[in-house]
Amino acid sequence: MALANNLTAILNLLVLLCSIPITASGIWLASKPDNECVNLLRWPVVVLGVLILVVSACGFIGAYQHKETLLAVYLCCMAILIGLLLVVLIFAFLVTRPGGSYQVPGRGYKEYRLEGFSDWLRENVVDSRNWGKIRACLADTDVCPKLSQQFITADQFFSSSSITPLQAYSILFCKQPVVNSDVKVISASGCCKPPTACGYNFVNPTLWLNPTNMAADADCYLWSNDQSQLCYNCNSCKAGLLGNLRQDWRKANLILIITVVVLIWVYVIACSAFRNAQTENLSRK
C-alpha cells in the first residue's frame, strides 16, 4: 500500500510538472499582440493548465497522506481534464488546418485569401460583429508602427522575411531562373500596407502614394495613409490576423501534443497503482 501510494505521489509530481508547459503555452498565446485582440482564443489553454496544476497537487497530497477518497476524486477530475485538453487540441487542429493559400497558375509562389480559412475562424473572429473591437485593438498595438522603425528603404522592406502575416499578409516565393532562387518578396497586403496590385508607390512601410490600378482589389479603396486607419478595414488585414493565429496555435499545438501524451501515460500508470493499492487493501482486510 505504501509503495503504491509513493508511486502515485511521484506520478502526480510528474503531472504537476507537465502542467507548466501547458500553462506556459497558454500564456505565450495570450501575450501575442494579435491574440490580445481576440478574447475568444486567449485563455482556454491557460485555464486548463492551472486546473491540471491544482488537481495534480491535490492528488499528490492525497497519495502522500494516504487519503484514498482524495485520490479517487483526483483520478476522476484528471480524466475529465485530459479529455478537455484533447478536445481543445483536436478542435484547434481542425479550425487551423485550412491555411488560406492557393497556387497561382504559372507562378512559383502561393497567395492567400480570407475565404481559404475555416468557416469557424471567419465567423467567430473576423465577422462584422467582432471586427470593430478587434480592429480598434489592433490599431492600438505597435504591429504597424514598428515597421517604420525597422525598415528605412524600399529594398529593406521588400526583401525582408521577418514581416508577419498581420503586417503584410503574404510573403510570396518567387523563383529566379539564374541566381538567388526562392527569393522572398512582399506581394500582398495585410493591416499595414495596401495590396501590391493597387500600384501604390512606397514612401515608408505605412505611407503609400499615387496608386495606378485601384480597380485591382476592393481593398485598394479601403487603404488610408491615416496611421489610425491604414488597412485595418481590409479583408487582407482579417486574413493576416487569421494567418498569425494559425501560426501561433500550430506552434503551441506541438508542445501540447507532447504534454498530452506524457499525461495519458502517467495517468494510466497512476490508475494501475491506485487499483493495486485497493486490491492490496482488500486482501489485508
Domain ranges of the chain: 1-98+249-284, 101-160+179-243
Supply the mean pLDDT for the chain: 74
Q: Are 8 and 74 in contact (CB under 8 A)?
A: no
pLDDT at residue number 83: 92
- The model's pLDDT over 21-74, given as tens digits with 9 standing for 90+, comes to 888 888 887 777 666 777 666 678 888 888 988 888 888 787 777 777 887 888
Weakest mean pLDDT among 34-43, 54-63, 200-209, 263-272:
34-43
CA distance 169 to 238: 9
Tell me the three cell numbers of residue 54: 491544482
- The number of angstroms, rounded, from the C-alpha of 239 to the middle of its chain's C-alpha atoms is 14
CA distance 24 to 45: 9
pTM: 0.71
Greater confidence (190 vs 111) lies with 190
Greater confidence (2 vs 137) lies with 137
- The number of angstroms, rounded, from the C-alpha of 118 to the middle of its chain's C-alpha atoms is 14
The CA-to-CA distance between both ends of the chain, in Å, stands at 12
Count CB atoms within 10 A of the CB of residue 210: 8
Count CB atoms within 10 A of the CB of residue 58: 18
CA distance 244 to 183: 22
Residue 196, CB-side half-sphere exposure with 13 Å CA sphere: 11
Q: Are 264 and 14 in contact (CB under 8 A)?
A: no
Question: Three-class SS of residue 217?
Answer: coil
CA distance 256 to 120: 21
Question: Three-class SS of residue 171?
Answer: strand
Tell me the three cell numbers of residue 64: 502522500
pLDDT at residue number 80: 92
The stretch 174-195 carries a mean pLDDT of: 46
- Amino acid code (one letter) for 275: R
pLDDT at residue number 159: 55
Residues composing the chain? 285
